[in-house]
Structure formats: C-alpha cells, structure tokens
C-alpha cells in the first residue's frame, strides 16, 4: 500500500514545493508515496468562501472556523481513511524521530495546516486531531511544518534512500546525535581525518563513533542525554 499524505491548506500552490525534488521527489514520481493536496477554502462559506471569523472573547486576528475545518477533514478521510489526523501548531507535542517512524509505518496521514490565530478548539476535539509542533518557534502557517513532517516520514520508506542502512546511524536513531563524518581529501587546511577512521579496524571505528556521538549528545542536547542514560542497558 502506498503511503498517502493528505494536506489541508489555504495555499495549495505551495505544494509539492521541496517535496517534488531530490530523493523525495523521485519517490513521488515512482509512486512510492502519494500527495493529496486539498484547498480548505473549497469548504468555505458564502460566495467569498469564508473560512475564518473573529475570536470569541475578543483579541487580535482571526480564527479558523470549526465547521469549515471539520468539513475539510471529513472530505479527506473519505479518500484517506484510518490514518492519523494531525494539526500543525506551535502548542503541539514536539515531533520526534520515534513519532516519525510510527507515522511512516501507518498508511499515511492527514495534515491540517493552521493559519491566522489558530483553529477553533471544537474542531480539534470533535475530530480528535493530534497536535504536533516542530519546536519552540512560530511560523506564518503550517505548510512548511507539513512538508518537514512528510519528508521525515517518506525518507524512512523502503526504496527512497540510496542506502537502506542510512537511517540506522543518523541522529536520534539510537537516542543520540550522529557522530562526525569525514571524506576526502585526507588533509584539509591542516586538519586530517582521524586516523582510526582509515585504520581498517572496524571495532575501533565503531567505538570511536559511539564515543563521539555520546560526547556530542551530552554537550549539545543534555535533555536527550538524560533520556539516553535512563534507557540504555
């Protein structure tokens, strides 16, 4: 079964964008995954296809209406049933590699791209949307976040990457950041490749890489290091 991403957006012209190039784009051409982009405004109200209204209780900006959002979600579910429905929002749970792997193993996902000041809470509750965030910052809308989530999932699928073992050693795969990488030339501006990496000693290379990954994680991401320390044997 082909993994299917259904994207609900007010700006369908933004897609496929970066998803249409490089390995992800080639995988799309090969139909290793599919992209279903839907304009939320098709479910808007009146001749102007209104999708938002002023926030209850007052305040700046506009809020996406629950009736419009739910109609868009329901339409997407008819062609992409039994998949997680995700709302990209700064207040969501941080996206992790573990969750990406789970989503990649599902049949696909419905991704609602937020705009304005947010989405009527009743839509989130009524359609049991999973709220997901890329981090502690705010974007103008959820489209870029949706692209990030899709790429993270698609690259884990068989046949997408040139080397199927590539995801096994990268950052977060084992709870650690990835170790440093090197390639030719042997010497660059006075700096040489660590001798162990050209020694042919595979056990020594594995040990060096593990130590460097642990040191980087401990220094740069103490939050990940704490989890790693708790979970490692």
The stretch 40-47 carries a mean pLDDT of 98
* Residue among 175, 95, 84, 85 nearest 137 (CA): 95
Query: Quick check: 18 and 48 in contact, CB under 8 A?
Result: no
Distance CA 19, CA 90 (A): 22
- Distance, in Å, from the CA atom of 170 to the CA atom of 37, rounded to the nearest integer, reads 30
pLDDT at 171 over 80: no
- Give the tens place of pLDDT for each residue, 207-219: 999 999 999 999 9
Q: Taking residues 4-33, what's their average pLDDT?
A: 98
Residue with tokens 């870029």: 144
Q: Is the pLDDT reported for residue 15 higher than 90? A: yes
Tell me the average pLDDT across 115-137. Answer: 97
- Residue 17 pLDDT: 98
pLDDT surpasses 70 at 115: yes
Which 8-state DSSP code applies to residue 164? Answer: T
pLDDT at 166: 63
The predicted structure's pLDDT at residue 174: 82
Evaluate whether 35 touches 15 at the Cβ level (below 8 Å). yes
For the chain, residues classed under CATH 3.40.1280.10 are: 3-154
Is the pLDDT confidence value at 20 over 90?
yes
3-154 to CATH, choices 3.50.50.60, 3.40.50.1970, 3.40.1280.10, 3.40.50.300: 3.40.1280.10
Cβ atoms 9, 40 nearer than 8 A: yes
Residues of the chain with CATH 1.10.1270.20: 169-231
Residue range 169-231, CATH number: 1.10.1270.20
């Amino acid at each position: 079964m082909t993994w299917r991403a259904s994207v609900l957006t007010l700006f369908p012209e933004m897609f496929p964008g970066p998803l249409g190039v490089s390995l992800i784009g080639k995988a799309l051409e090969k139909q290793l995954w599919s992209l279903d982009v839907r304009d939320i405004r098709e479910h808007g109200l009146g001749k102007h296809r209104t999708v938002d209204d002023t926030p209850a209780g007052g305040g700046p900006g506009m809020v996406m209406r629950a009736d419009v959002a739910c109609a868009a979600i329901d339409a997407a579910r008819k062609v992409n049933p039994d998949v997680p429905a995700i709302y990209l929002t700064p207040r969501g749970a941080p996206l992790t590699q573990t969750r990406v792997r789970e989503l990649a193993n599902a049949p696909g996902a419905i991704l609602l791209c937020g705009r304005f000041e947010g989405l009527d809470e009743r839509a989130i509750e009524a359609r049991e949307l999973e709220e997901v965030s890329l981090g502690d910052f705010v974007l103008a809308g959820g489209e870029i976040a949706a692209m990030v989530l899709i790429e993270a999932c698609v690259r884990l699928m068989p046949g997408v990457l040139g080397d199927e073992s590539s995801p096994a050693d990268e950052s977060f795969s084992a709870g650690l950041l990835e170790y440093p990488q090197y390639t030719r030339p042997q010497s660059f501006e006075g700096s040489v490749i660590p001798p162990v990496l050209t020694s042919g000693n595979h056990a020594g290379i594995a040990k060096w890489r593990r130590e460097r990954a642990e040191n980087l994680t401990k220094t740069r991401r103490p939050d990940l290091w704490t989890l790693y320390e708790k979970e490692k044997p």
